Amino acid sequence: MAFREASLETSASSADVWGVWSDVNRWPEWNPDMKESHIEGPLKLGATGMINTRSGGKHDVVVTQFQEGRSFELESTALPGTKMAIRATIMPSGAGSRITQGFEPRGLLAPIVGPMMSGPILKTFNSVLNGLKQRVESKR
């Protein structure tokens, strides 16, 4: 399956966005869907942790992709037979950045779970990206 994504432009630099977005332990401060989040040690490939969202509940996560300053991907078990990958990407854009959050269901039940969950998940991404934008733009 392909990633389904939502994006937003911000006047903040990529470095400023990365500084906030890569601090997983502080996501609940600006992410309205996040009850709690934690990564053991620094955000890097193979790091493990937990997220607890208002929309999807509590899940163990592992960092499955990582590009310092640019992107990371967390993978969690969403349902039996399915994993959910959440990808965060930052791209320079004009005088600021383009921030993108995407998800991809994986596994045996992905063809069923993906279409069923895409609407509700994408709805939360808009508020998440807006929260991130407000946080990084208010830090300047």
Percentage of residues in the chain having pLDDT higher than 90? 64
Q: Is 1 a residue whose pLDDT tops 70?
A: no
**Chain segment 102-131, per-residue pLDDT in tens:** 988 888 877 777 777 777 777 888 899 999
- Give the pLDDT confidence score for residue 119 in this predicted structure: 73
**Mean pLDDT of the region 4-25:** 95
**Mean pLDDT of the region 61-78:** 94
Higher pLDDT, 132 or 104: 132
- Give the pLDDT confidence score for residue 109 in this predicted structure: 78
CB atoms within 10 A of CB 13: 16
**Mean pLDDT of the region 22-47:** 95
- Give the pLDDT confidence score for residue 121 in this predicted structure: 78
**Mean pLDDT of the region 28-38:** 95
Give the domain ranges of the chain.
4-135
- Give the pLDDT confidence score for residue 97 in this predicted structure: 97
**Mean pLDDT of the region 14-18:** 96
CATH class for domain 4-135?
alpha beta
Q: Is 43 a residue whose pLDDT tops 90?
A: yes
CA distances from 13 to 8, 51, 67, 98, 115 (A): 13, 26, 17, 9, 34
Contacts (Cβ under 8 Å, ≥6 apart) of 15: 69
User: What's the CA gap between 105 and 77, in Å, rounded?
Assistant: 10
